[in-house]
């Protein structure tokens, strides 16, 4: 048919009018369904401008947009101009037409279209309506439009329905800053303000927290929604964090004892009932808060302090620090501060009940650090990590020894020693040493060295003699002080050797000789000489494994006239003749015991220096080897193990070990592990021991291996 024929145009116009009356009649008789509408020509893309039926399509679209002919949600009909297609049935049930108009800022009421008109159902009608300009809205488009004013205007039932609709929606996490939460007073707030919760779930007990209104969270899904926002029941830790501690963030003097004791009770209850995570959170905040009444070392009030600035007033600490500045103690008023429960709480929050150690930059000089690296066998350094440790107000404490104030120096020194023992008992021995770590390209070393406070105690005069004069610890015999003994501390802070050791040192003899004479019952020089005469039968040259060097210059009865002017040699050599092997002559000779102690020493070295490779037991000349990237040996190491210290017991190198050291030169290491198998184990590292020795001493013991008489020697010379 021709589209430009007048009669055809008239017929199309009359058909459009008839269609309008037909649709209205169907609507009025409730027969105008979605199926009927989908039969209408509403898709303009299927009709060009020169098509005969195009005016009919245009008229149909105008009818649907202007006349209430499209089925709406809940029954009835609505024109397309005020209709909205919902993205889900959940949204149609949640948002009413009136709310929809408010959210879209329309002056007239809007309506949801029937749930049968969707992208999946009646797609052709859906596509046509969208092309006509009918709006579509889903939950993702609605949520951003919900303002605080909109939410506060809704009923409790509607807010609860909103929570239930969103309890499993991903939109919660992307819009968690919206003012979702309805408080008891009707206001709406977001779940948190920074890290601070702005609302809590209601609970039976009265609380100062802002609570969610019960009417909006009395269903399971509503609670799930609030949980996803991080809303929980208020706990006692939160109560303290937000309602108690803010009173102490400023230096306020208007807090009564009654109020303070109430606050401490709430803090203590929260601490004792909290789980580990919440307890840590509480302690972290308490550690930063000035809420503990404090006094100085003379008992004068100094206001509120942080727990981490305070000592617990034990007898040892209060007596030790009496009169010392920059030290503060927990006050004993109000009375609640004196209970064990509160004291334990404050210790958990940083108060110290023993000497407080403080980390600081290392005070060792560059030369001292270089010496540490040398002893570890890696002198060069490209990068390092090092921290030192001291004791709070140690300088002021040491100054107090000579101040003349109470307690007297004798008592203060004893208290300091007792406090050091308590520190070790509570913190372990590691607190007395620091770690020095350094790198040289790919090589790494880690060594321990005494902490600064240990070094300072060794260098300072704080130990009194019988007259009350202060000396360095090394100048006073420990057994004369009457202090409790502690072998580890006495090792770190060496005192003057005890009586027998001092006597042997002054006489220039081995302390073991005095012990040997006592065991033999020899108490006089005459008895010793008689014993020597009775055992003076001549020895055969080279026989019996005698020890050359057993009677060194300066021993009993033969003190050198120069011994008082010359220091003890840096190295002392013992040479054994007539016996092969490398057994240490100064350690127990039980083979299994020696292997056991040596094995523990090697294990300790490998833990500290894993770059060494252990060889088979009894490898001649050395025990460990170090390889380069091409698996070539670059260093070897002989290990000597001592149960005690090298100060008390020397070690022995065999002839084979000595020859290997001579051949290897600077690639040969001698490692001596003192106190092997104990926590006090230390490694003494000696590189190229043959080159280090500057001289060798030959004493009368060498007579045993002298194999030429004067006449034989003269004859040898004459024979050429």
pLDDT band at 572 (very low <50, low <70, confident <90, very high): very low
Most trustworthy range by pLDDT among 102-116, 273-287, 574-588:
273-287
What per-residue confidence (pLDDT) applies to 122? 81
Say whether pLDDT at 378 is over 60. yes
Domain boundaries of the chain, sorted by first residue: 6-145, 148-234, 241-353, 358-496, 542-560+568-720
54-76 average pLDDT score: 79
Classify 528 as helix, strand or coil. helix
What per-residue confidence (pLDDT) applies to 95? 87
- How far, in whole angstroms, is CA 676 from its chain's centroid? 30
Question: SS3 for 333-385, per residue?
Answer: CCHHHHCHHHHHHHHHCCCECCCCEEEECCCCCHHHHHHHHHHHCCCCCCEEE
What per-residue confidence (pLDDT) applies to 716? 63
State the residue for tokens 């027998």: 500
What per-residue confidence (pLDDT) applies to 500? 57
Say whether pLDDT at 305 is over 90. yes
What per-residue confidence (pLDDT) applies to 558? 34
Say whether pLDDT at 297 is over 60. yes
Say whether pLDDT at 417 is over 70. yes
pLDDT band at 544 (very low <50, low <70, confident <90, very high): very low
Q: Of residues 384 and 663, which shows the higher confidence score?
A: 663
In the chain, the percentage of residues whose pLDDT exceeds 70 is 80
For the chain, the helix, strand and coil percentages under 3-state DSSP, each to the nearest 5: 45, 15, 40
Per-residue pLDDT tens over the stretch 492-511: 999 887 665 667 667 777 65
CB burial of residue 335 (10 Å; 0-12, 13-18, 19+) = exposed
Q: Which residues contact 606 (CB under 8 A, 6 or more apart)?
A: 612, 614
Cα distance from N-terminal residue to C-terminal residue, the chain: 148
What per-residue confidence (pLDDT) applies to 54? 62
What per-residue confidence (pLDDT) applies to 352? 95
What per-residue confidence (pLDDT) applies to 693? 78
Give the chain's length. Answer: 720
Lowest mean pLDDT among 464-478, 525-539, 620-634: 525-539
The tokens of 199 are what?
């609302």
The tokens of 286 are what?
């308490």
The answer to whether the predicted template modeling score (pTM) of the entire model surpasses 0.85 is: no
Cα distance between residue 620 and residue 83, in whole Å: 99
Cα distance between residue 95 and residue 139, in whole Å: 10
Per-residue pLDDT tens over the stretch 322-371: 999 999 999 998 989 999 999 999 999 999 999 999 998 888 888 888 88
Longest dimension (CA), the chain: 161
State the residue for tokens 């040259």: 541
Total Cβ atoms within 10 A of residue 309 = 19
Cα distance between residue 292 and residue 325, in whole Å: 19
Asked if 591 and 597 touch (Cβ cutoff 8 Å), the reply is: no
DSSP annotation string for 310-336: -B---HHHHHHTTT-TT-EEE---SGG
Indicate the average pLDDT of the chain.
81
What per-residue confidence (pLDDT) applies to 87? 79
Q: Of residues 431 and 208, which shows the higher confidence score?
A: 431
Considering only CA atoms, which of 374, 376, 381 is closest in space to residue 440? 381
The tokens of 560 are what?
């050198």
Say whether pLDDT at 573 is over 50. no
Whether the bond into 407 is cis, omega within 30 of 0: yes
294-306 average pLDDT score: 93
Q: Of residues 118 and 204, which shows the higher confidence score?
A: 118
């Amino acid at each position: 048919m021709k589209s430009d024929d007048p009669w055809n145009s008239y017929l199309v116009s009359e058909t459009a009018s008839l269609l309008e009356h037909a649709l209205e009649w169907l609507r009025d008789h409730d027969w105008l369904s979605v199926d009927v509408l989908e039969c209408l020509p509403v898709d303009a893309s299927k009709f060009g401008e020169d098509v005969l039926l195009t005016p009919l399509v245009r008229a149909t679209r105008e009818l649907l947009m202007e006349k209430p002919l499209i089925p709406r949600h809940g029954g009835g009909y609505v024109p397309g101009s005020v209709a909205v297609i919902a993205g889900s049935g959940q949204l149609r049930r949640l948002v009413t037409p009136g709310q929809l108009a408010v959210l879209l800022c329309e002056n007239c009421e809007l309506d949801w279209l029937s749930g049968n008109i969707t992208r999946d159902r009646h797609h052709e009608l859906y596509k046509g309506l969208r092309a006509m300009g009918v709006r579509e809205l889903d939950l993702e488009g609605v949520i951003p439009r919900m303002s605080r004013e909109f939410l506060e205007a809704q009923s409790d039932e509607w807010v609860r329905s909103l929570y239930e609709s969103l309890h499993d929606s991903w939109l919660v996490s992307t819009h968690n800053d919206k003012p979702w939460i309805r408080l008891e007073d009707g206001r709406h707030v977001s779940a948190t303000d920074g890290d601070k919760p702005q609302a809590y779930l209601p609970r039976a007990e009265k609380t100062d927290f802002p609570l969610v209104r019960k009417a909006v969270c009395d269903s399971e899904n509503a609670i799930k929604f609030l949980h996803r926002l991080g809303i929980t029941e208020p706990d006692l830790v939160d109560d303290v964090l937000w309602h108690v501690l803010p009173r102490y963030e400023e230096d306020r003097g208007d807090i009564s004892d009654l109020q303070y004791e109430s606050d401490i009770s709430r803090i203590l209850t929260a601490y004792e009932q909290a789980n580990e995570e919440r307890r840590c959170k509480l302690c972290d905040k308490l550690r930063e808060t000035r809420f503990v009444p404090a006094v100085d070392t003379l008992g004068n009030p100094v206001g509120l302090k942080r727990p981490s600035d305070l000592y617990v007033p034990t007898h040892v600490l209060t007596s030790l620090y009496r009169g010392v500045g920059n030290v503060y103690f927990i006050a004993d008023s109000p009375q609640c501060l004196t209970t064990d429960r509160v004291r334990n709480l404050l210790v958990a929050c940083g108060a110290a009940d023993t000497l407080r150690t403080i980390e600081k930059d290392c005070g060792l000089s560059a030369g001292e650090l270089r010496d540490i690296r040398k002893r570890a066998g890696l002198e060069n350094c490209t990068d390092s990590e090092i921290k030192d440790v001291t004791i709070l107000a140690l300088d002021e404490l040491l100054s107090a020894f000579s101040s003349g104030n109470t307690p007297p120096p004798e008592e203060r020194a004893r208290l300091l020693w007792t406090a050091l023992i308590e520190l070790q008992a509570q913190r372990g021995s590691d607190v007395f040493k620091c770690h020095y770590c350094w790198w040289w390209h790919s090589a790494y070393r880690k060594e321990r060295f005494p902490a600064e406070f240990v070094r300072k105690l060794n260098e300072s005069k704080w130990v009194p003699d019988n007259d009350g004069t202060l000396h360095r610890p090394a100048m006073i015999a420990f057994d004369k002080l009457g202090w409790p003994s502690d072998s580890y501390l006495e090792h770190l802070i060496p005192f003057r050797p005890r009586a027998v050791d001092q006597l042997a040192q002054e006489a220039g003899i081995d302390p073991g000789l005095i012990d040997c004479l006592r065991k033999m019952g020899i108490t006089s020089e005459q008895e010793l000489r008689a014993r020597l005469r009775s055992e003076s039968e001549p020895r055969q040259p080279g026989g019996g494994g005698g020890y050359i060097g057993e009677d060194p210059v300066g021993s009993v009865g033969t003190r050198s006239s120069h011994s008082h002017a010359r220091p003890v040699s840096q190295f002392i050599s013992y040479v054994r003749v007539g016996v092969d092997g490398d057994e240490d002559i100064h350690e127990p000779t039980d083979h299994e015991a020696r292997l056991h102690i040596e094995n523990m020493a090697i294990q300790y070295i490998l833990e500290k220096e894993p770059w060494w490779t252990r060889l088979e037991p009894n490898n001649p000349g050395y025990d460990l080897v170090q390889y380069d990237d091409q698996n070539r040996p670059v260093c070897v190491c002989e290990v000597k193990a001592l149960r005690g210290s090298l100060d008390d017991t020397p070690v022995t190198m065999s002839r084979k070990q000595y020859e290997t050291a001579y051949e290897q030169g600077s690639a040969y290491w001698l490692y001596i592990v003192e106190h092997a198998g104990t926590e006090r184990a230390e490694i003494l590292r000696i590189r190229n021991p043959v080159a280090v020795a500057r001289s060798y001493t030959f004493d009368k013991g060498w007579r045993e291996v002298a194999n030429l008489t004067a006449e034989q020697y003269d004859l040898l010379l004459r024979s050429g």
